[in-house]
Amino acid sequence: MTKIRILLQGGHVYETFCGADAPLLEQLRQFLTAGGAGLAQLQIEQEGRARGLAIPFSQIVAVETEPPVVWQHRDQPGAIRPAPYIRIPGFLSTEENAAVLDFAVRKQPEFRASTVEGGRQGYRHSQVLMKFDDMGLDFAGRVRELVPEAAQYFGLDIPAGYDFEMQMTTHGDGDYFRIHSDNGSPSTASRILTYVYYFSRDPLPFSGGHLRLYDDSRVDPSSWIPVATFADITPQNNMLLLFPSRAFHEVLPTLCRTTDFASGRFTINGWIRSPAIAVS
């Protein structure tokens, strides 16, 4: 049996006992980890007689248990979670940041129009560079250093032998990418963690181009859907952004002041994904 002491506003305390699988423990866990309304239904003993007691969850200040109970957070179906992300300004040194932009400008002839799986028209407009091993900077190594901490923060299970994907993208005047998730198709389903590194001239030579990262709601243990609320993240030179690849997001239209290629919205972006399975 577990002894429960419920501390209420105003200094009142109620004690009761229940089994490890009692509904009361689950009710209290949901309140303590996610908040909520409703009543805690208690049964207390007083002068040898059992009495029922209902306490509004809003009045509960704290709960003591003996022996100790570990209250773990579990997302409930339908519960809305704020858009999850980690933002790291000043990711590279000033010199490295400038060198990445110089490299992108030199590679302009090698950028190609971006596409989406299935060839959907009007869904994405930008240019990408898929191979740039000669950048002269171990950018992948810098991101890899952050993977364990990011995985822990987001509660992601990333295998030790994960694959690392990387590409360079530029958005010119009017370019965009409609709402999507980075692991929403069979060929991308193994993506776990997304990273985006922003680089550009300083001050920003464009406006717009925000990353709109949607709040989400769990449908079942493996499925999430976007909801109507979101966070708009402003592009900032030399900033790294990380978020779970399941998160729905879009790139809002970029508005450039000139047609100069070097004045666009540039990113190095990619994914941490489960290792490919070799087929014999």
List pLDDT tens digits, range 215-254. 876 655 556 667 778 899 999 999 999 999 999 999 999 9
Q: Which two tokens stand for residue 2?
A: 């577990």
Convert 89-128 into a string of H (helix), E (strand) and C (coil): CCCCCHHHHHHHHHHHHHCHHHCEECCCCCCCCCCEECEE
Query: What mean pLDDT comes out for the span 249-273?
Result: 96
Instruction: State mean pLDDT over 253-275.
Output: 96
Q: Is the pLDDT of residue 82 over 50?
A: yes
Give the pLDDT confidence of 17-43 residue by residue, as tens digits. Answer: 877 777 777 667 666 655 555 676 666
- Least reliable range by pLDDT among 10-14, 37-41, 165-169: 37-41
Cα 103 → chain centroid: 29
The domains of the chain, with CATH numbers, are 2-66 (2.30.30), 80-273 (2.60.120.620)
Q: What is the pLDDT of residue 13?
A: 80
47 pLDDT more than 90: no
pLDDT of amino acid 50: 72
Please give the average per-residue pLDDT across 132-157, as a whole number. 94
- How many CB atoms sit inside 10 A of residue 24's CB? 17
User: What's this model's pTM, rounded to 2 decimal places?
Assistant: 0.71
Distance, CA of 27 to CA of 39 (rounded, Å): 9
- Which of 72-86, 118-132, 236-250 is predicted most confidently? 236-250
- pLDDT in the model for residue 46: 58
Q: Has residue 279 got a pLDDT over 50?
A: no
**At 93, which amino acid appears?**
S
CB atoms within 10 A of CB 76: 12
Whether the pLDDT of residue 280 is over 50: the answer is: no
Given a cut of 60, whether residue 277 has pLDDT beyond it is no
